[in-house]
Amino acid sequence: MAVEGAEFADETPTIPARAAFRRFWPLTKGLRKWLLAVWLCTVLAALAETEAVLLFGELTDDALQKGSPAAFWSPAGQWLGVAVIGALVAYAGNSLAAWTTERFVMRLREHVFDHVQQLPPHFFQRHRQGDLLSRLTSDVEAIETMVVSGLAGAASAAFSALFYAAAAFWLRWDLAAATFVLAPLFWLAARRFSGSIKDVSRAGRVADGAITSVVEESLGNIVLTQAYDRRDAERRRLREEANAWFRASVRSTRLNEAYEQLVQVIETVCVLAVIGIGAWEISTGRMTLGRLLAFAAFLGYLYPPVRGLAQLGLTVTAATAGAERLIEVLDARPSVTDPRHGVEPGRPDGTVEVRDVSFHYPGADRPALTGLSFAVRPGELVIITGPSGAGKSTVAKLLLRFYDPDRGAVLLDGVPLRDLPLARLREYVALLPQETLVLHDTVRANIACGRPGASERAIEEAARAADAHDFISRLPDGYDTRVDPHSARLSGGQLQRLAIARALLRDAPVLVLDEPTAGLDAMAARRVVGPLRRLMAGRTTIMITHDLNLAPDADRIVVVDRGRVVETGRHGELLARAGAYARLHRSQNNAVLDTGELRMPLWEEDRPPAHGAAYGNGGHVAPAQPDGRLPFGGGEAWPGR
Ligand SMILES: Nc1ncnc2c1ncn2[C@@H]1O[C@H](COP(=O)(O)OP(=O)(O)OP(=O)(O)O)[C@@H](O)[C@H]1O
């Protein structure tokens, strides 16, 4: 069932409890000795309780029935000692159990989280975030109930049940045998309820995920909700999901309650049987009252574990519904994996080649790219443009190796991306995505994540080069100001400059810019042009954009339509050809009022550029590159510039 890029099926597959248990059991490695210790504590506590019951019988017969205060002290002292030891052992056992279970939950959550982070972009596009959240929270806890608490509970309950049953037999085997004839009733009751409880629990979990999704989506879209007064529609959406949850929850309580009450009745039958037989035995002089009470007490201790075992069966069955949902996530495979024997190249020059690449998204009926080829030499700027849905962002995903092509290859300095360790690839190819990604952290941390461990100076230099230092300094806590993904503190343009600072710090030889000015108004877009040029200086840049204002700067423009390259050339040549590019350009010029301002060279901006970069015609940068990398404008080496 683990298909590459596997989706959540419409229906979550049903998995037997045993298979679910086996799937998650390996995660208890290292915790098993503590589970054993918990079990030992239960054994000791049971022994202490048994001793207490026997002492209670002795007290009844010797002190109470005979009315002898002298016979009270010795068993009473022993009982107190046993009770204290039992309490200490139970305390230690329960604390250890809590520690073990919580460690397991942490481990499982990390395991699933780690897996989810490797899943391909389409996985997240196709599945509701709220449902994933619910899988990572409540379903993870359900598995703990099955694997850790369930196992420890079952082992303890089984031991206690056996132990108290043995004690009852030892006291009066005939009485015990008469009582145990009724034991299968417990099992039959649990069996009767387990199927329904699993169904209702599955429905509850699905509803839980749906409610989280609706709340999450609604809050994420709060502006749309308020601006279009969609509160009623959103409330109805929530109510529909909440109704499903309500029905599942009430039904689950009813089933559990019915089971509980049935068990109570069975227990009452057992107790009445004991009292009836006991009364008859005492009347014939074959039993003392103390022994009968001790026997009844053992039965009192015996019922909870027996009932617990049956209840545990139901809990495990219910938890299996959670396990099924988590296994479904774990069975979705990452679309790319690290090569087994990857090459470890040094820093590449930055030659990128997309060679005859075809690709279609898993599950999609038509290809996103077909026989696509283009090459970018070190330091060049290549713009990939085309109409909406042409496949431009898909090219970015292949360049970052979020997916491997179905046919053809993407090469960096002649090495196929599949042969490069993913960590190296992502170090050498930096992405500036369309949507500015912000960590819930300080401005400093947001820039520093470009290069973990970067010095204060390097962070500030990157911020200056991205024209971000000034606005950062004006923030209440400067670089220590906390921002978050929904922060209203920073404008779109400021966030974009923060992202540019991060990419500058990363200092990757290859840059992939996905619509770097999308969503920005003309003024904000103009403010990022300078920082962008500084970022692109000396790096191979592949810019995916609808925005053709930067096109005259490009060494080459690749026009893509329906997954194929339809035109390639420089801005002037393509305009002169009066083909697809010229049409795109015309349609954009009709839509944008002032296209010229974006091409404004940097020296017309507020302040001179950092690093003493000089900009020639068309905005090319030719800064001194201490590491000898090709400057962006060093076109003489390459024909066609
Ligand atoms: N996760 C996906 N699953 C299936 N098909 C997809 C997926 N993502 C994109 N596609 C399809 O692949 C094709 C190319 O999409 P892509 O996002 O690369 O286009 P684009 O040129 O970047 O469009 P835009 O300019 O509107 O962002 C489109 O037909 C799109 O519907």
**Sheet containing strand 415-416, strands side by side:** 369-376, 352-359, 407-412, 415-416
**Distance from the alpha carbon of residue 389 to the mean position of ligand 1, in angstroms:** 5
- Residue 545 CB–ligand 1 contact under 6 Å: no
Atom of ligand 1 nearest to the CA of 386: 21
Best mutation site among 361, 366, 561 for ligand 1 pocket (most ligand atoms within 8 Å of CB): 361
**Distance from the alpha carbon of residue 396 to the mean position of ligand 1, in angstroms:** 11
Q: State both tokens at 407.
A: 């046919």
3-state secondary structure of 565: strand
Give the CA count within 13 Å in the CB-facing half-sphere of 392: 27
Place of tokens 């696509």: 372
- Residue 435 CB–ligand 1 contact under 6 Å: no
Yes or no: say if 100 and 148 are a contact pair by the CB < 8 Å rule.
yes
Place of tokens 């000089």: 614
Residue 243: exposure state from Cβ atoms within 10 A (0-12, 13-18, ≥19): exposed
Query: Which of residues 157 and 343 earns the better pLDDT score?
Result: 157
CA-wise closest residue to 463 among 430, 420, 502: 502
Q: State pLDDT tens for residues 527-539.
A: 778 888 888 888 8
**Distance from the alpha carbon of residue 237 to the mean position of ligand 1, in angstroms:** 28
Say what the pLDDT of residue 618 is.
Answer: 33
Say what the pLDDT of residue 4 is.
Answer: 40
CA distance 512 to 397: 10
The one-letter amino acid at 221: N
**Distance from the alpha carbon of residue 340 to the mean position of ligand 1, in angstroms:** 30
What's the mean pLDDT in 8-14? 54
What is the DSSP code string of 80-115? HHHHHHHHHHHHHHHHHHHHHHHHHHHHHHHHHHHH
CA-wise closest residue to 483 among 469, 475, 521, 504: 475
Place of tokens 């039959």: 188
CATH class of 352-637: alpha beta
Confidence of residue 526 (pLDDT cuts 50, 70, 90): confident
Its pTM surpasses 0.90? no
Yes or no: say if 599 and 552 are a contact pair by the CB < 8 Å rule.
yes
pLDDT higher than 60, residue 621: no
Q: State both tokens at 439.
A: 């960590």
Pick the most confident of 41-50, 210-219, 360-369.
360-369
**Distance from the alpha carbon of residue 228 to the mean position of ligand 1, in angstroms:** 28
- Residue 389 CB–ligand 1 contact under 6 Å: yes
Q: Is the ipTM of this complex over 0.90?
A: yes
Residue 27: exposure state from Cβ atoms within 10 A (0-12, 13-18, ≥19): middle
- Residue ranges per domain, the chain? 17-331, 352-637
Say what the pLDDT of residue 597 is.
Answer: 39
Best mutation site among 392, 406, 548, 566 for ligand 1 pocket (most ligand atoms within 8 Å of CB): 392
17-331 fold: ABC transporter transmembrane region fold (1.20.1560)
pLDDT higher than 80, residue 96: yes
CA distance 193 to 443: 55
Say what the pLDDT of residue 120 is.
Answer: 84
What's the mean pLDDT in 241-255? 88
106 CB contacts (<8 Å, ≥6 apart)? none
Distance in Å from the first CA to the final CA of the chain:
51
Residue nearest (by alpha carbon) to ligand 1 atom 12:
368
Q: State pLDDT tens for residues 452-508.
A: 888 888 898 888 888 888 888 888 888 888 887 666 677 778 888 888 898 898 888
Backbone angles phi and psi of 305, in degrees to 5: -65, -35
The one-letter amino acid at 235: R
Q: State both tokens at 456.
A: 């204060």
Residue nearest (by alpha carbon) to ligand 1 atom 23:
389
Atom of ligand 1 nearest to the CA of 560: 21
CA distance 508 to 430: 6
Say what the pLDDT of residue 355 is.
Answer: 94
Sign of CA pseudo-dihedral 75, 76, 80, 86: positive
- Residue 368 CB–ligand 1 contact under 6 Å: yes
CA distance 592 to 597: 11
**Distance from the alpha carbon of residue 393 to the mean position of ligand 1, in angstroms:** 7
- Residue 390 CB–ligand 1 contact under 6 Å: yes
Q: At 155, which helix (H) or strand (E)?
A: helix 150-171
- Residue 125 CB–ligand 1 contact under 6 Å: yes
Average pLDDT of the chain is: 79
